[in-house]
C-alpha cells in the first residue's frame, strides 16, 4: 500500500530505548505513546475522504426475513452504499470452528442484534438515519431460549438445519457407578458475562489499487480474521492485508469477526476509505459473551475426605452461532473435576444452539463455569465431612505424575497443594482498630451510606483452579516470528516482527526481553503486527508468551547461529566456541573478537521461525486422549469479604492469590495479569451479568452492565512461584486466565461463610443473600 493512502493515525513502530532481558521487568515500549494519548487505537484512525459505516441489526431473536427494501436509504443524501446479503461477494458464512454464521443475514435472523444490512455515509449521523430508512419485513418466530431444554427436547424448533447440538462430549474414567460414604450434590448456574473491553470494535478499510483492501483494526488474531474475511470477499488472502492497530483490551471478545468483512465490503463498494466504530450498546450485540451454564454436580468421598467420584452434567448456552462453543465443551468437560485427583469420573457436556446472543471466547474459556461449581461442591463436601475446606482440597490436589480424567499423565509440575498452603499463609487484613469510627468507603455500599457497620459480617473463602494452556485436542498450535538484526549507526538493532496481537497484556515487552536475552543486544524494536509475516494464532488461551515467545526465541537463535557462523569464518574460530555477550562476540579461547555491529557491517541477518508446541490429540467418544492438552496452569485465591447481611451488599476487603507461572519472563507484568484477571473474576462473582429475557439483552450499557470500579477492587497480596515446565520455552506456564477462574469461587465461598447461604448462582446479587 502506498503511503499516500495510509491513515492519518497509523500503527507505530515501538522503538523506545528500554533495557531488560528475560526475568527482569522492563517498562512497556508502548507506554510513552499510551500516556501521551498518541497511541493509535483502531477507533482513532482517520483517512482523507473517509466514509462512516453503520450496521442494521435484527430487533428479533428469531425471525424470517420476508423482504428488505434499501431504496429509500440509498436515495438519502450523503449515503454512498447500502449493502445486504446479496452484496456479499464470496461465501456468506464464517466461523472459528464451525462455519455457520452469515456475514449478513439472508432469509432468517437467529439472534437479536444479528447484522442484516450495511450503510456507508459521509457522517455517522447520516449513516444512522439511513439505517432507519431500510425496511425489513420480518415474520417473527418463537425463539429457542433454554439450552438444557434444547439438548433434550427434539420438538423445539431447530436453530440450524443440523439440529441444536453444537457439541456433546462425555468424559468417563474408572467406574462411573461407584458409590461413596459421603455424597453431596448441587445445581449451579453461571450468568452471561461480557468481556467489556473498553476499546469498542472498530476498523478502517482502505481499498487498494490492486483490487484488494487494507484493513487497520483491533483483533486478537490477524490471520484467522484474514482467512474468514478473504473467503467472504472472494479475494485472494494476499489481497486482504490486515494491520493491527491499538487494541483497547480483548479478553476473548475479539476472536470472532465483528466489523471486518462489513467495513471491507463498504470500502470495496464505494472505492473510499470506510471506518466503522461500534458504540457501547452495539458492542454488546457485536461480540460474543461468556457462555451461561447450568451444571449438575455430584461428589462422592470417603469419610476421611478422599474423593471417590465426580459426576456432572454441564449445559453451555452457545447462542445463535457456534463460535468457540466446541472448545468450551472440550475445556469444560476435561477440566470439570478441577485440579483434583479423582479415580472415577463421569462428566457429560452439551454446547447448544439457541436464539440467545452468541457466546464464545472469554478469559478462562470453558473453565470458569465448572470451577464455580466444583469449588462450591468442595466446600459443601468439607462441610458434610466436617473438614477444613483447604485441607480437603490439599488432600485431593492433583500433582505431577497424576492422571487427568482424560487419561493424560501430568509430566510437569502441578503444585496445587503448595499453592493452597501458600495462599493460606499470606497475611490477612488487619481488623479495624477497636472503637474507631469506620470510613463508610470501606464498608459494603461505600459512599452510598447504607451501613455504619450494622449487619456487616466478615467471611473468608478459598478457591483453586486448573486451566489448560494453548490450543488443544489436536489443533496444530504454532506461532511465527521474523527477527532481523542489523547495524544502525554502529549499534546492533534487532527488529521483531510477528502477527501476535498485543492486546494490553505486554507481549511486546516480552518479545523485546527475549530478543535482548538471546541476541545480547540492547536495542530491540517491535514492528507493527500485520499479515506480511506468518500466523501467530490468537492472543488467547494464555498462549502467546509460550508460542510466540518460543517463535521469537527460535528466530533469534537462528539469527545468532548465522551471526556466529559469519564470525567463525571471518576470524577462523570454530562457531561452537563463540557466544554473544553485551553486544559483542566472544570466543571461549580468545575473548572478545568483535562488536556485533562491526561483524554485521552493512548486512542484515533475518530469520523467520515457527514454534509448534508438543502435539495434542483429540478426545475419543469416552473422552480419552493420550494428551488432550499441552499444559495446565493453576492458581489459588483467598477472599476476605464483608457482607451487609441485611441488605445483601458486598465489599471484598482483600483478595490474595498464589499462582505458579513456570517462569516469570516479566515478573511485574505477571503481577499485573493476576491483578487484572482477579478483578474480572470478582466482577463475575458479585456484579457482572448480561441479563437476557426472551432472547433479548436487557442491559446493553455500562449503566446497567456493571464492572468493578476502583472502589470495588480490594488490595491484593500476590504470590508468584516458578515451577518451570520442562516442555515450554524458558519453562513458562500460561498466566492470564487462571486468576480469572479461581477468584470467583473464593469470593462466593467467603460470602457463604459470612451469610450461611447456599449461593448457587453467580453473580451473587443482594436478592440471593437476603433470601
Partner 1 sequence: MRLNLTVNGRAMTADDVWEGESLLYVLRERLGLPGSKNACEQGECGSCTVYLDRVPVCACLVAAGQAQDREVGTVEGLADGEELSTVQRAFIDEGAVQCGFCTPGLLVAADDLIERVPEPSDAEIREALAGNLCRCTGYEKIMAAVRTAAERSGGTSGSGSSAGGDRT
Partner 2 sequence: MDFLRPAGWSEALEAKANHPDATPIAGGTDVMVELNFDHRRPETLLDLTRIEQLREWSRTERNGVPTVRIGAAVPYARLIEELGTTLPGLAMAARTVGSPQIRNRGTLGGNLASASPAGDGHPPLLASNAEIELESVRGSRTLPLADFFTGVKRTDMAPDELIAAVHVPEGTGPQQFSKIGTRNAMVIAVCTFAVALHPRRRGVGTGLGSAAPTPRSATEAEEFLAGALAEDGQWDDPRPLPASVTERFGELVARAAAPIDDVRGTAGYRTHALHVLARRTLSWAWDEYRSGTELSGRQRCA
Q: Does 27 bind partner 2 (CB under 8 A)?
A: no
715 lies in the site for partner 2, by CB under 8 A: no
DSSP H stretches of helix in 291-402: 325-334, 368-385, 389-396
Torsions phi, psi for 632 (to 5 deg) = -125, 150
Interface with partner 2 (CB under 8 A), residue from 106, 122, 281, 668: 281
Q: Would you count residue 280 as binding partner 1 (CB under 8 A)?
A: yes
44 binds partner 1 (CB under 8 A): yes
765 binds, among partner 1, partner 2, none (CB under 5 to 8 A by kind): partner 2
Contact flag: residue 721 with partner 1 (CB under 8 A): no
Site string for partner 2, 639-678 (x = CB under 8 A): -------xxxx-x---------------------------
Q: Are strands 491-498 and 478-488 parallel, antiparallel or unpaired?
A: antiparallel
Cβ distance 193 to 365 under 8 Å?
Answer: no
**What are the Cα distances from residue 393, in Å, to 81, 92, 682?**
60, 49, 21
Span from 158-166, 211-219, 364-372, 431-439 in contact with partner 2 (CB under 8 A)? 431-439
Cβ atoms of 117 and 104 within 8 Å: the answer is yes
**Helix %, strand %, coil % of the chain (to 5):** 30, 25, 45
Site for partner 1 in 534-573 (CB under 8 A): none
> Residue from 185, 187, 449, 581 that binds partner 2 (CB under 8 A)?
449
Please identify which residue in 5, 6, 15, 32 interacts with partner 1, judged by CB under 8 A: 32
The closest alpha carbon to 488, from 532, 525, 526, 529, belongs to 525
* Residue ranges in 348-377 that form contacts with partner 1 under rule CB under 8 A: none
Nearest to 616 by CA among 337, 330, 382: 330
∠ CA 733-734-737, rounded to 5°: 145
How far is the C-alpha of 245 from the C-alpha of 45, rounded, in Å?
8
Q: Smallest Cα–Cα separation from 116: which of 55, 171, 63? A: 55
By the rule CB under 8 A, 566 interacts with partner 2:
no
- What are the φ and ψ backbone dihedral angles of 522, each rounded to 5 degrees? -90, -40
Segment 122-151, which members bind partner 1 (CB under 8 A)? 123, 125
User: Could you say which of 6, 15, 20, 27 contacts partner 1 (CB under 8 A)?
Assistant: 27
Q: Which is nearer to partner 1, 403 or 675 (CB)?
A: 675
Kindly state whether residue 284 participates in binding partner 1, applying the rule CB under 8 A. no
Maximum Cα interatomic distance, the chain, rounded to a whole number of Å: 83
* Strand ranges of the sheet holding 108-109, from the earlier edge strand across to the other edge: 108-109, 63-69, 135-140
| Chosen from partner 1, partner 2, none, partner binding at 417 (C-beta under 5 to 8 Å by type) | none
Q: How many residues bind partner 1 (CB under 8 A)?
A: 71
| Calpha distance 541→532 (Å, rounded) | 24
What is the footprint of partner 1 within residues 378-417 (CB under 8 A)? none
Angle at 729 between CA 728 and CA 730, to 5 degrees: 110
Instruction: Strand 649-660: give its sheet, edge to edge.
Output: 456-469, 631-644, 649-660, 718-721
Choose among partner 1, partner 2, none what residue 546 binds, the Cβ cut-off being 5 to 8 Å by kind.
none
Among 135, 137, 442, 620, binds partner 1 (CB under 8 A): 442
Judged by DSSP in three states, 132 sits in helix
Angle, CA 257 vertex, CA 273 and CA 192 arms, to 5°? 135
According to CB under 8 A, which one of 13, 383, 425, 439 is a site residue for partner 2?
A: 439
Binding to partner 1 (CB under 8 A) within 46-85 occurs at 46
Considering only residues 34, 75, 158, 588, which one is a binding residue for partner 1 as defined by CB under 8 A? 34
Distance CA 405, CA 422 (A): 26
The dihedral formed by the CA atoms of 179, 182, 183 and 184, expressed in degrees to the nearest 10:
-170
On the 0-12 / 13-18 / 19+ scale of CB atoms within 10 A, 402 is middle
Of 54 and 116, CB closest to partner 1 = 54
Contact residues for 318 (Cβ-Cβ < 8 A; gap 6+): 147, 166, 291, 325, 328, 351, 352, 353, 354, 358, 359, 360
Half-sphere exposure of 495 (CA within 13 A, CB side): 13
Question: 97 vs 280, which CB is nearer to partner 1?
Answer: 280
Q: Min. distance of Cβ 131 from partner 2 in angstroms?
A: 9
**For partner 1, which is the closer residue by CB, 279 or 577?**
279
Q: How far is the CB of 440 from partner 2 (least distance, A)?
A: 6
Q: Is 67 in the site for partner 2 (CB under 8 A)?
A: no
What minimum distance in Å lies between the beta carbon of 706 and partner 1? 9
Q: What φ, ψ does residue 211 adopt, rounded to 5°?
A: 90, -5
Residue 699's binding partner among partner 2, partner 1, none (Cβ under 5 to 8 angstroms by kind) is partner 2
Smallest distance from the beta carbon of 427 to partner 1, in angstroms?
Answer: 6
- Residue 197 contacts which entry, partner 2, partner 1, none (Cβ below 5-8 A, type-dependent): partner 1
Residue 251 interacts with partner 1 (CB under 8 A)? yes
Q: Is 464 in the site for partner 2 (CB under 8 A)?
A: no
Residues 148-177 touching partner 2, rule: CB under 8 A, are: none
**683-702 binders of partner 2 (CB under 8 A):** 686-687, 691, 698-699, 701
Using CB distances below 5 to 8 A depending on partner kind, what does residue 249 bind out of partner 1, partner 2, none? partner 1
Per DSSP bridges, beta strands 631-644 and 605-612 are unpaired
Question: Do the strands 344-352 and 307-317 form a parallel or antiparallel pair, or are they unpaired?
Answer: parallel
What would the 3-class secondary structure string for 244-284 be?
ECECCCCCCCCCCCCCHHHHHHHHHHHCCCEEEECCHHHHH
35 or 178: whose CB is closer to partner 1? 35
Task: Please tell me whether residue 62 adopts helix, strand or coil conformation.
Answer: coil
CB of 196 to partner 2, least distance (A): 13
- Applying CB under 8 A, among 249, 474, 583, 765 the residue interacting with partner 1 is 249
Range in contact with partner 1 (rule: CB under 8 A) among 163-171, 423-431, 544-552, 747-755: 423-431
Q: How far is the CB of 255 from partner 1 (least distance, A)?
A: 16
Q: Binding partner 2 by CB under 8 A: which of 146, 606, 694, 712?
A: 712
Q: Is 679 among the residues that bind partner 1 (CB under 8 A)? A: yes
Number of chain positions touching partner 2 (CB under 8 A): 42
Min dist CB 711 to partner 2, Å, is 4
Find the shortest distance in angstroms from Cβ 186 to partner 2.
Answer: 23
Site string for partner 2, 97-136 (x = CB under 8 A): -------------------------------x--------
For residue 721, the surrounding DSSP H or E stretch is strand 718-721
Determine, following the binding rule CB under 8 A, whether residue 261 of this chain makes contact with partner 2: no
Q: C-beta of 573: minimal distance to partner 1 in Å?
A: 42
Contact 646, 454 (CB under 8 A): yes
- For residue 683, the minimal CB distance to partner 2 (Å) is 9
Select from 13, 38, 236, 620 the one that contacts partner 1 (CB under 8 A).
38
Reduced to 3 states (helix: H, G, I; strand: E, B; else coil), residue 418 is helix
Find the length of the chain. Answer: 771
Contact partner at residue 766 from partner 1, partner 2, none, CB < 5 to 8 Å by partner kind: partner 2
User: How many alpha carbons fall within 13 Å on the CB side of residue 753?
Assistant: 20
Q: Is position 767 an interface residue for partner 2 (rule: CB under 8 A)?
A: yes
By the rule CB under 8 A, 504 interacts with partner 1: yes
Q: Which residues bind partner 2 (CB under 8 A)?
A: 128, 279, 281, 437-441, 444-452, 454-455, 646-649, 651, 686-687, 691, 698-699, 701, 703-704, 706, 708-712, 765-767, 770
Amino acid at each position: 500500500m502506498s503511503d499516500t493512502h495510509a491513515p492519518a493515525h497509523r500503527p507505530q513502530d515501538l522503538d523506545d530505548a528500554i533495557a531488560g532481558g528475560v526475568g527482569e521487568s522492563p517498562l512497556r515500549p508502548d507506554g510513552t505513546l499510551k500516556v501521551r494519548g498518541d497511541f493509535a487505537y483502531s477507533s482513532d484512525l482517520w483517512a482523507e475522504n473517509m466514509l462512516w459505516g453503520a450496521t442494521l441489526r435484527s430487533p428479533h431473536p428469531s425471525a424470517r426475513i420476508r423482504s428488505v427494501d434499501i431504496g429509500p436509504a440509498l436515495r438519502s443524501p450523503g449515503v454512498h452504499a447500502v449493502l445486504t446479503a446479496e452484496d456479499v461477494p464470496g461465501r456468506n458464512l464464517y466461523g472459528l470452528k464451525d462455519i455457520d454464521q452469515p456475514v449478513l443475514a439472508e432469509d432468517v435472523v437467529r439472534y437479536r442484534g444479528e447484522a442484516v444490512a450495511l450503510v456507508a455515509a459521509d457522517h455517522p449521523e447520516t449513516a444512522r438515519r439511513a439505517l432507519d430508512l431500510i425496511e425489513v419485513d420480518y415474520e417473527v418466530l418463537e425463539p429457542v431460549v433454554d439450552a438444557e431444554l434444547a439438548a433434550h427436547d427434539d420438538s423445539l424448533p431447530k436453530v440450524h438445519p443440523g439440529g441444536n447440538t453444537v457439541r456433546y462430549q462425555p468424559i468417563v474414567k474408572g467406574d462411573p457407578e461407584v458409590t461413596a460414604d459421603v455424597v453431596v450434590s448441587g445445581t449451579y448456574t453461571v450468568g452471561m458475562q461480557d468481556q467489556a473491553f473498553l476499546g469498542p470494535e472498530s476498523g478502517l478499510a482502505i481499498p487498494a489499487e490492486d483490487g484488494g483492501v487494507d484493513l487497520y483494526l483491533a483483533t486478537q488474531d490477524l490471520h484467522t480474521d484474514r482467512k474468514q474475511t478473504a473467503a467472504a470477499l472472494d479475494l485472494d488472502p494476499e489481497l486482504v492485508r490486515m494491520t493491527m492497530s491499538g487494541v483497547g483490551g480483548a479478553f476473548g471478545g475479539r476472536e470472532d469477526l465483528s466489523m471486518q468483512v462489513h467495513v471491507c465490503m463498504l470500502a470495496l463498494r464505494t472505492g473510499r476509505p470506510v471506518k466503522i466504530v461500534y458504540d457501547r450498546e452495539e458492542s454488546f450485540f457485536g461480540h460474543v459473551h461468556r457462555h451461561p451454564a447450568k451444571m449438575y454436580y455430584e461428589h462422592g468421598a470417603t469419610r476421611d475426605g478422599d474423593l471417590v467420584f465426580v459426576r456432572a452434567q454441564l449445559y453451555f448456552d452457545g447462542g445463535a452461532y457456534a463460535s468457540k462453543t466446541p472448545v468450551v465443551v472440550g475445556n469444560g468437560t476435561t477440566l470439570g473435576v478441577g485440579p483434583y485427583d479423582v479415580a472415577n469420573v463421569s462428566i457429560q457436556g452439551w454446547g447448544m444452539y439457541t436464539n440467545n446472543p452468541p457466546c464464545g471466547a472469554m478469559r478462562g474459556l470453558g473453565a470458569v463455569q465448572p470451577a464455580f461449581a466444583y469449588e462450591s461442591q468442595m466446600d459443601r463436601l468439607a462441610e458434610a465431612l466436617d473438614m477444613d475446606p483447604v485441607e480437603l482440597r490439599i488432600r485431593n490436589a492433583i500433582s505431577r505424575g497424576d492422571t487427568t480424567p482424560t487419561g493424560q499423565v501430568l509430566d510437569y509440575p502441578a503444585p496445587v497443594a503448595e499453592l493452597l498452603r501458600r495462599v493460606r499463609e499470606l497475611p490477612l487484613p488487619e481488623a479495624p482498630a477497636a472503637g474507631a469510627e469506620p470510613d463508610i468507603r470501606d464498608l459494603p455500599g461505600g459512599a452510598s451510606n447504607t451501613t455504619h457497620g450494622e449487619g456487616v459480617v466478615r467471611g473468608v473463602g478459598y478457591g483453586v483452579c486448573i486451566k489448560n494452556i494453548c490450543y488443544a485436542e489436536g489443533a496444530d498450535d504454532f506461532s511465527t516470528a521474523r527477527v532481523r538484526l542489523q547495524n544502525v549507526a554502529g549499534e546492533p538493532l534487532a527488529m521483531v516482527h510477528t502477527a501476535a496481537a498485543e492486546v494490553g497484556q505486554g507481549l511486546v515487552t516480552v518479545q523485546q526481553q527475549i530478543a535482548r536475552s538471546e541476541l545480547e543486544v540492547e536495542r530491540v524494536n517491535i514492528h507493527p503486527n500485520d499479515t506480511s509475516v506468518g500466523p501467530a494464532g490468537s492472543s488467547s488461551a494464555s498462549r502467546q508468551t509460550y508460542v510466540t515467545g518460543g517463535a521469537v526465541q527460535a528466530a533469534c537463535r537462528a539469527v545468532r547461529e548465522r551471526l556466529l557462523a559469519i564470525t567463525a569464518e571471518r576470524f577462523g574460530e570454530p562457531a561452537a566456541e563463540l557466544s554473544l555477550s553485551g553486544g559483542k562476540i566472544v570466543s571461549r579461547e580468545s575473548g572478545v573478537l568483535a562488536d556485533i555491529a562491526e561483524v554485521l557491517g552493512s548486512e542484515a541477518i533475518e530469520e523467520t521461525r515457527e514454534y509448534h508446541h508438543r502435539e495434542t490429540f483429540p478426545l475419543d467418544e469416552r473422552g480419552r486422549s493420550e494428551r488432550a492438552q499441552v499444559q495446565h496452569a493453576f492458581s489459588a485465591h483467598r477472599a476476605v469479604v464483608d457482607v451487609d447481611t441485611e441488605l445483601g451488599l458486598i465489599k471484598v476487603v482483600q483478595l490474595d492469590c498464589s499462582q505458579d507461572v513456570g517462569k516469570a519472563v516479566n515478573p511485574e507484568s505477571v503481577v499485573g495479569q493476576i491483578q487484572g484477571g482477579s478483578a474480572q473474576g470478582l466482577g463475575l462473582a458479585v456484579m457482572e451479568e448480561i441479563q437476557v429475557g426472551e432472547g433479548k439483552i436487557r442491559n446493553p450499557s455500562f449503566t446497567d452492565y456493571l464492572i468493578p470500579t476502583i472502589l470495588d477492587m480490594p488490595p491484593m497480596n500476590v504470590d508468584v512461584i516458578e515451577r518451570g515446565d520442562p516442555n515450554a520455552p524458558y519453562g513458562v506456564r500460561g498466566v492470564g486466565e487462571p486468576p480469572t477462574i479461581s477468584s470467583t469461587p473464593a469470593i462466593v465461598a467467603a460470602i457463604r461463610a459470612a451469610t450461611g447461604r447456599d449461593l448457587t448462582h453467580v453473580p451473587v446479587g443482594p436478592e440471593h443473600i437476603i433470601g
